[in-house]
Chain A
Amino acid sequence: MAHEHHESFISKYIFSQDHKMIARQYLITGIFMGFVGGFLSIFFRLQLGWDGIDFTWLNGLFGNYLSSNFNEATGDVSYVLAPDKYLALVTMHGTILVFFVLTAGLSGTFSNLLIPLQIGARDMASPFLNMLSYWFFFLSTVIMLVSLFIETGPASAGWTIYPPLSALPKAIPGSGLGMTLWLASMAIFIASSLMGALNYISTVLNMRTKGLSMKKLPLTIWAFFLTAILGTLSFPVLFSAALLLIFDRSFGTSFYLDGIYLADGGVLDKTGGSPILFQHLFWFLGHPEVYIILMPALGITSEVISTNARKPIFGYKAMVISLLGISVLSFIVWGHHMFVTGMNPFLGSIFMIVTLIIAVPSAIKTFNYLATLWKGNIHFTNGMMFAIGLVSLFISGGLTGIWLGNAAIDIPLHNTYFVVAHFHIVMGASAIFGMFSGVYHWFPKMFGRMMDKKLGYIHFWLTFISVYLVFFPMHFIGLAGVPRRYYAFTNFDFADDFLDLNKFITYAAILGFAAQFVFLYNFIKSAISGEKAVKNPWRANTLEWSTEVNPGHGNWVGAIPSVYRGPHEYSKPGVDRDFLPQWISEEDLNQAVDYDSEDHDPIKRDVPSTTQNEESVTE
Chain B
Amino acid sequence: MKQHFIHNNQNGIDLHCFLGGMHKHASKNHFMKKSILLRIFSLFLTVFLLSNLALASTEHAVKEENSDQQSEQIQSENWAKAPNPQNLEEKKISRYAINKQLEQGQANSSQSLTGYIVIIAILVLLIFGGIGAVMKDVQKMTGQKDTTNYNKINGGLMLGFLVLMLVGVFYEIVIHGKYVRLDSSSEHGQAIDNMLIVTLLITGFVFLITQIVLFIFAYKYQYNEKRKALYYPENDKLEILWTVVPAIVLTALVLFGFRTWNNTMIYHENRGKDYTAEAYPYQVELFAYQFGWNFRYPGPDGILGKYDYRLIDPATNPMGIDFSDPASKDDIVTRDLKMPKMELSRFVMRSRDVLHAAHFPDFNAQIYCIPNTQTEFHIKPLYTTTEKRAMENNADYNFELACNQICGASHFNMRQTVEVLDVDEFNKWASSQKAAFNGTEEVDDTQLSMTE
Is the CB of A10 closer than 8 A to any CB of chain B?
no
The answer to whether B121 and A366 touch across the interface, beta carbons within 8 angstroms, is no
Known: A345-B262, A491-B413. A375 touches B13 (CB 8 A): no
Q: Is B177 an interface residue (CB 8 A)?
A: yes
Q: In the complex, which of the residues A42, A258, A341, A464 contacts B161, with contact meaning CB atoms closer than 8 Å?
A: A464
B265 at the interface (CB under 8 A from A): yes
A12-B13, A263-B290 as given contacts; A416 in contact with B5, CB under 8 Å = no
Known pairs A411-B192, A455-B132, A528-B38; A73 contacts B73 (CB<8 A): yes
Q: Please tell me the size bucket of the interface on A.
A: 35 or more
Q: Are A414 and B404 in contact (CB under 8 A)?
A: yes
Q: Give residues 176-210 of B contacting A (CB, 8 Å).
A: 176-177, 179-181, 184, 189, 191-192, 195-196, 199-200, 202-203, 206-207, 210
CB-nearest residue of chain A to B213: A370
Assembly CA distance A395 to B232 (angstroms):
23
Asked if B239 and A56 sit within 8 Å, CB to CB, the answer is no
Question: Which residues of chain A come closer than 8 Å to B214, judged between CB atoms?
Answer: 369-370, 373, 388, 391-392, 395
Residues of chain B with a CB closer than 8 A to A157's CB: 406
Partner among B31, B104, B215, B406 whose Cβ is within 8 Å of the Cβ of A52 = B104
Q: Are A54 and B400 in contact (CB under 8 A)?
A: no
- How many chain B residues touch A (CB < 8 A): the figure is 174
CA distance in complex: A412, B202 (Å) = 19
Check if A614 is an interface residue, CB within 8 A of chain B: yes
Q: What chain B residues lie within 8 Å of A497 (beta carbons)?
A: 179
Knowing A50-B110, A349-B261, A409-B195 touch, does A74 contact B250 (C-beta < 8 A)? no
Contact B290 A171 (CB under 8 A): yes
Q: Residues 274-318 of chain A: 1 if any B CB is under 8 Å from the residue's CB, otherwise 0?
A: 111000000000000000000000000000000001111111111
Q: Is the interface of B mostly helix, strand, loop or mixed?
A: helix
Nearest chain B residue, comparing its CB with the CB of A39: B118
B260 touches A363 (CB 8 A): no
A367 to B240, CA, bound (A): 11
Known contacts A314-B234, A483-B404, A489-B412; can you find 7 more A-B pairs with CB under 8 A? A51-B103, A312-B233, A340-B368, A400-B203, A412-B366, A510-B118, A612-B2
Expressed in whole angstroms, the Cα–Cα distance for A46 and B117 within the complex equals 11
For A480, give its contact among B180, B203, B364, B396 (CB under 8 Å): B180
Establish whether residues A572 and B231, one from each chain, have CB atoms under 8 Å apart when the complex forms.
Answer: yes
Q: Which residues of A contact B4 (CB under 8 A)?
A: 1, 4
- Minimum C-beta distance from A90 to chain B (A): 8
A-B contact pairs, 25 of them (CB 8 A): A74-B66, A74-B70, A258-B371, A259-B309, A267-B312, A353-B254, A356-B250, A356-B253, A363-B243, A370-B214, A373-B221, A379-B151, A388-B158, A402-B199, A461-B157, A468-B165, A476-B180, A481-B361, A514-B118, A515-B125, A521-B125, A522-B129, A524-B41, A528-B16, A578-B229
Task: Find chain A residues with CB under 8 A from B136 CB.
Answer: 452
Selected interface stretch from B278-286, B347-355, B422-430, B432-440:
B347-355
Q: Return the chain B residue nearest A84 by Cβ.
A: B409
Cβ contact within 8 Å between B19 and A528: yes
The residue among A53, A158, A317, A506 with the most chain B CB atoms within 10 A of its own CB is: A53
Whether B19 pairs with A527 at a CB distance below 8 angstroms is yes
B118 touches A42 (CB 8 A): yes
Q: Which residues of A contact B257 (CB under 8 A)?
A: 352, 356, 406-409
Q: A residues 423-443 with Cβ under 8 Å of B?
A: none
B133's nearest neighbour on chain A, judged by CB, is A525
Is A571 in contact with B128, judged by CB distance below 8 angstroms? no
**A595 interface residue, CB < 8 Å from B?**
no
B258 interface residue (CB < 8 Å to A): yes
Which residue of B16, B154, B206, B222 contacts A457 across the interface (Cβ within 8 Å)?
B154
Question: Smallest distance from the beta carbon of B400 to chain A beta carbons, Å?
Answer: 6
Interface membership of B122, Cβ < 8 A: yes
B126 within 8 A of A: yes
B221 touches A378 (CB 8 A): yes
Given A76-B70, A479-B179, the answer on whether A510 and B121 have CB atoms closer than 8 Å is: yes
With a cutoff of 8 Å between Cβ atoms, the chain A residues found around residue B227 in the complex are: 377
Known: A13-B18, A370-B213, A609-B2. A552 touches B8 (CB 8 A): yes
Cβ–Cβ contact A314 & B232, under 8 A: yes
Shortest CB-to-CB span from A339 to chain B, Å, is: 8
A487 interface residue (CB < 8 Å to B): yes
Contact A165 B1 (CB under 8 A): no
Could you say which residues of chain B place their CB within 8 Å of the CB of A518? Answer: 125, 128-129
Q: A379-B223, A552-B9 are in contact. Are A363 and B290 (CB under 8 A)?
A: no
Segment 476-525 of A: residues with Cβ below 8 Å from B: 476-477, 479-483, 485-495, 497-498, 501, 506-507, 510-511, 514-515, 517-518, 521-522, 524-525
Question: Is A615 in the interface zone, CB < 8 Å from B?
Answer: yes
Q: A480-B361, A548-B9 are in contact. Are A490 and B96 (CB under 8 A)?
A: yes
Known contacts A260-B353, A342-B373, A360-B243: does B232 contact A494 (CB below 8 Å)? no
Contacts of B411 in A (CB 8 A): 83, 87, 485-487
| In contact, A479 and B168 (Cβ under 8 angstroms) | no
User: CA–CA, A490 to B234, complex, Å?
Assistant: 55
Instruction: Kindly report which residue of chain A lies nearest to residue B37, judged by CB atoms.
Output: A528
Stretch of A17-25, A208-216, A240-248 that contacts chain B: A17-25
* B431 at the A interface (CB under 8 A): no
> Do B231 and A380 have beta carbons less than 8 Å apart?
no
Q: Which residue of A lies closest to B309 (CB)?
A: A259
Give the contacting residue for B211; candidates A42, A392, A448; CB below 8 A: A392
B155 to chain A, nearest CB (A): 7
Q: Are B359 and A468 within 8 A (Cβ)?
A: no
Which residues from A are CB-within-8-Å of B199? Answer: 402-403, 406, 409
Q: Which of B2-25 contact A (CB under 8 A)?
A: 2, 4-20
Q: Contact check: which of A377, A458, A486 meets B128 at CB < 8 Å?
A: A458
Q: Does A250 contact B (CB under 8 A)?
A: no
B150 near A380 (CB under 8 angstroms)? yes
Q: Which residues of A (333-370) have their CB < 8 Å from a CB of B?
A: 340-342, 345, 348-349, 352-353, 356-357, 359-360, 363-364, 366-370
**Contacts A377-B223, A377-B224 hold; do A448 and B367 have CB atoms under 8 A apart?**
no
Tell me whether A260 and B177 are in contact (CB under 8 A): no
* Residues on A with beta carbons closer than 8 Å to the beta carbon of B106: 50
- Residue in A158, A377, A608 whose Cβ sees the most chain B Cβ within 10 Å: A377
Q: Write the nearest CB–CB distance from A610 to chain B, whole angstroms.
A: 9
A252 at the interface (CB under 8 A from B): no
Residues of B within 8 A of A483 (CB): 359, 402-404, 412
Please state if B366 and A57 are interface contacts (CB–CB under 8 Å). Answer: no
Given contact pairs A157-B406, A359-B250, A457-B150, A316 touches B179 in the complex (Cβ within 8 A) = no
